[in-house]
């Protein structure tokens, strides 16, 4: 039995960590457990034995800690080597197999194109063609195939007074389709800069020209299109001896963002059913726009032409600015039944808005007409015309309010005259 002054200690498990404990530690444990094996025992041992047991336990902890430290140090040292070895195995051999071969495709492989280096030139096969410099010749480029793209690449085709047209698409017996012509100039040709009379689904983009119809006789001008074509951002400047800026020989064509200076008519549309949007026509000897049945003219500018806009039966002129410094004709003239003239600003013509004989059933609303030398409106019976209001002059204004208004009418569809 233990004495009254001794502490009662709970013995450790006899097998606890015995496999890895040092010999001195295991011997001390065996001596203790041999006294009271597996039960509670008294700590009435000599102080020397207790010290030995503690020293043996501390030595075991030091050795295990030292071993773990050496193991981690070895791993840290070897980790970069192992990673490099794995990377080298994944990357394969470092010695290249041979000189590198080209992997990129050439431009001709990506977009096969044929160079036009002299004039005259005939295109007889579908494909893409281009210029590499300005060209002058006694004949132009004849497109005698479908599905052709012609890129002028910013260069100029220069003609003479006997050289025909700069670019001609097809013929009456062999019309052509799906043609794109872009990015260049056509100047000085006998007839047209671009003759697309016999073309269908033609796209003209960023084409400009000047001085065409240089022969001074016959048809000619900047450009002529056939059927279902698109003309974008094209510009022609023609002299007094020239023909029309644009001629439209067929239907379903669309012009956007185009510009004509000079010539006879800015645009001359024969068969109708075409549209002209956001275009400008200036200083034309006759009309800025001469459009016929079912044509649509929208948001265009006509500046200083003798006639402003002529529109045929069921045509529409809307949102245009039409001004002149003394034009002898009409600002807007309807030439057939059912034409719509809406929200235009017309100034400086002999007659601002007029209807030709037989032009009935039209609608004339929301226009502003001023400064006509003869009269602002000349409209025959049988048309639908919103109230025409004479805008009075205002007195002097200095501040944030004032003005005499635009007349007595409150009709939002009213036409304004002054």
What's the rounded Cα separation, in Å, for the pair 369 and 183? 39
Question: 148: number of CA atoms within 13 Å, CB side?
Answer: 26
The predicted structure's pLDDT at residue 407: 72
What's the rounded Cα separation, in Å, for the pair 136 and 189? 10
Q: What would the two tokens of residue 205 be?
A: 């983009």
Domain ranges, ordered by start, for the chain: 8-83, 114-393+407-417
Q: Parallel, antiparallel, or unpaired for β 156-158 and 113-116?
A: unpaired
Report the percentage of the chain scoring pLDDT > 90: 62
The whole-number average pLDDT for the span 340-346 is 98
Q: What is the dihedral of CA 406, 409, 412, 415, to 10 degrees?
A: -60
The whole-number average pLDDT for the span 308-322 is 97
How many CB atoms neighbour CB 315 within 10 A?
27
Q: What is the dihedral of CA 276, 279, 283, 286, to 10 degrees?
A: 0
Helix H or strand E segment including 261: strand 259-262
* Residue 390 scores a pLDDT above 60: yes
Evaluate whether 325 touches 306 at the Cβ level (below 8 Å): no
* Residue 92 scores a pLDDT above 70: no
* Residue 151 scores a pLDDT above 80: yes
pLDDT tens-digit readout, 353-369: 999 999 999 999 999 99
3-state secondary structure 143-206: ECCCCEEEECCCCEEECCCCCCCCEEECCCCCCEEEEEEEEEEEECCCCEEEEEEEEEEEEEEE
Q: Compute the chain's Rg from CA coordinates.
A: 48
pLDDT tens-digit readout, 102-123: 777 776 667 689 999 999 999 9
Q: How far is CA 306 from CA 24, 46, 235, 303, 368, in A?
A: 124, 134, 20, 9, 19
What's the rounded Cα separation, in Å, for the pair 136 and 62? 99
Decide if domain 114-393+407-417 falls under CATH 2.160.20.10. Answer: yes
Evaluate whether 283 touches 260 at the Cβ level (below 8 Å): no
* Residue 76 scores a pLDDT above 70: no
64-65-67 Cα angle (round to 5): 65
Q: What is the crossing angle of helices 47-91 and 23-35, to 10°?
A: 140
């Amino acid at each position: 039995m233990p004495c009254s002054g001794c502490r009662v200690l709970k013995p450790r498990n006899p097998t606890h960590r015995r496999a890895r404990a040092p010999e001195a530690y295991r011997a001390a444990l065996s001596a203790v457990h041999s006294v009271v094996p597996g039960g509670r025992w008294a700590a009435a041992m000599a102080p020397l034995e207790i010290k030995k047991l503690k020293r043996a336990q501390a030595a075991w902890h030091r050795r295990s800690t030292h071993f773990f430290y050496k193991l981690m140090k070895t791993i840290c040292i070897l980790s970069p080597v192992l990673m490099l070895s794995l990377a080298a195995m994944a990357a394969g051999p470092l010695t290249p197999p041979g000189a590198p071969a080209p992997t990129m495709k050439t431009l001709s492989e990506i977009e096969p194109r044929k160079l036009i280096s002299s004039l005259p030139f005939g295109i007889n096969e579908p494909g893409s063609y281009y210029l590499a410099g300005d060209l002058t010749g006694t004949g132009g480029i004849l497109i005698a195939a479908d599905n052709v793209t012609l890129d002028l690449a910013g260069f100029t085709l220069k003609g003479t007074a006997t050289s025909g047209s700069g670019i001609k698409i097809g013929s009456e017996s062999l019309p052509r389709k799906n043609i794109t012509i872009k990015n260049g100039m056509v100047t000085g040709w006998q007839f047209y800069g671009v003759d697309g009379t016999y073309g269908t689904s033609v796209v003209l983009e960023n084409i400009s020209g000047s001085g065409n119809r240089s022969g001074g006789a016959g048809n000619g001008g900047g450009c002529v299109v056939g059927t279902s074509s698109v003309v974008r951002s094209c510009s022609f400047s023609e002299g007094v001896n020239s023909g029309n800026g644009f001629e439209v020989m067929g239907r379903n064509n669309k012009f956007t963002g185009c510009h004509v200076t000079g010539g006879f008519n800015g645009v001359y549309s024969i068969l109708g059913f075409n549209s002209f949007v956001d275009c400008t026509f200036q200083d034309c000897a006759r009309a800025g726009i001469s459009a016929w049945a079912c044509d649509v003219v929208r948001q265009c500018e006509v500046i200083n032409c003798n006639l402003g806009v002529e529109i045929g039966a069921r045509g529409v002129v809307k949102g245009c600015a039409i001004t002149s410094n003394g034009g002898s004709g009409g600002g807007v003239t309807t030439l057939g039944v059912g034409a719509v003239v809406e929200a235009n600003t017309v100034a400086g013509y002999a007659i601002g808005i007029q209807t030709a004989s037989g032009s009935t059933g039209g609608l004339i609303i929301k226009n502003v007409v001023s400064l006509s030398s003869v009269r602002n409106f000349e409209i025959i019976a049988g048309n639908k015309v919103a109230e025409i209001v004479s805008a009075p002059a205002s007195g002097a204004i200095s501040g944030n309010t004032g003005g005499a208004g635009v007349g007595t009418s409150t009709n939002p569809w009213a036409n304004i005259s002054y």
